[in-house]
A and B are shown apart, each in its own frame.
Chain A
Amino acid sequence: KQEVTQIPAALSVPEGENLVLNCSFTDSAIYNLQWFRQDPGKGLTSLLLIQSSQREQTSGRLNASLDKSSGRSTLYIAASQPGDSATYLCAVKPFYSGNTPLVFGKGTRLSVIA
């Protein structure tokens, strides 16, 4: 059974710092991995999707990497801003026969302090 872990559970950094959020998963048989952002009281916003054949994806100040064999992904945020404060969730799509839903980690709550 696929399990996703995110460390740390919470992180507080001063504005302008570069930071890395970590995600690990127990079964390397995945279709893809997706990073989401969730603001308080809101739904999830998709940030980056990495297919199993890819090593990384970039969008603006965000860069996500995937090392499928070791079951790890990182989300790198450059030059953090207070507006980046949110909970960041990692989710993997297991590679089983038939339709498989995403399996989520519990998230990392990020606070960027001005």
Chain B
Amino acid sequence: DTAVSQTPKYLVTQMGNDKSIKCEQNLGHDTMYWYKQDSKKFLKIMFSYNNKELIINETVPNRFSPKSPDKAHLNLHINSLELGDSAVYFCASSQESANRELFFGEGSRLTVL
């Protein structure tokens, strides 16, 4: 049973296209996140949602739009993809109210050509 699952695992697309990455967690957590891991393997927070509400939005271009239909799902939509968007995107979740550990998905490797 996968706790945090994201799809697709690999995504190769052309510049200018629009794409989405989906994330679901079955841990009953109240908070979900999107992190970006660049080519140097550095992990940086992009967004955080708590009970479907956006609570953190780091300096991310507005081409990136997260959507949370319910607290078990947090999807990431990216418009007008650019070469610099190529990275591995990780979804994660935690029970924020209990200050508990963070659980990650397997990552979605996006390559923009």
| Complex CA–CA separation, A13 to B101 (angstroms) | 29
Contacts of B76 in A (CB 8 A): none
Q: Is the CB of A34 within 8 A of B102?
A: yes
Mark each residue of chain B from 29 to 46: 1 if its CB lies under 8 Å from any CB of chain A, else 0: 001010000001111110
Segment with Cβ contacts to B, from A14-22, A44-52, A66-74, A77-85: A44-52
Asked if A44 meets B104 with Cβ closer than 8 Å, knowing A31-B99, A101-B33, the reply is yes
Report A's interface with B, CB cutoff 8 A.
31-32, 34, 36, 41-46, 49, 51, 87, 89, 91, 93, 98-99, 101-104, 106-107
Interface SS majority for chain A: strand
- Are B104 and A104 within 8 A (Cβ)? no
Q: Is the interface of B mostly helix, strand, loop or mixed?
A: strand
Report B59 CB to chain A, min CB distance, Å. Answer: 13
Summed over the interface, the residue pairs from A and B with CB atoms below 8 Å come to a total of: 54
Partner of A102, one of B40, B42, B50, B102: B102
B54 CB to closest chain A CB, in angstroms?
Answer: 10
Residue contacts A-B, CB under 8 angstroms, 30 given: A32-B99, A34-B101, A42-B106, A42-B107, A43-B4, A43-B90, A43-B104, A43-B105, A43-B107, A44-B43, A44-B92, A44-B102, A44-B104, A45-B104, A46-B101, A46-B104, A49-B100, A51-B99, A89-B43, A91-B102, A98-B55, A99-B31, A99-B48, A99-B50, A99-B56, A101-B33, A101-B45, A104-B44, A106-B40, A106-B41
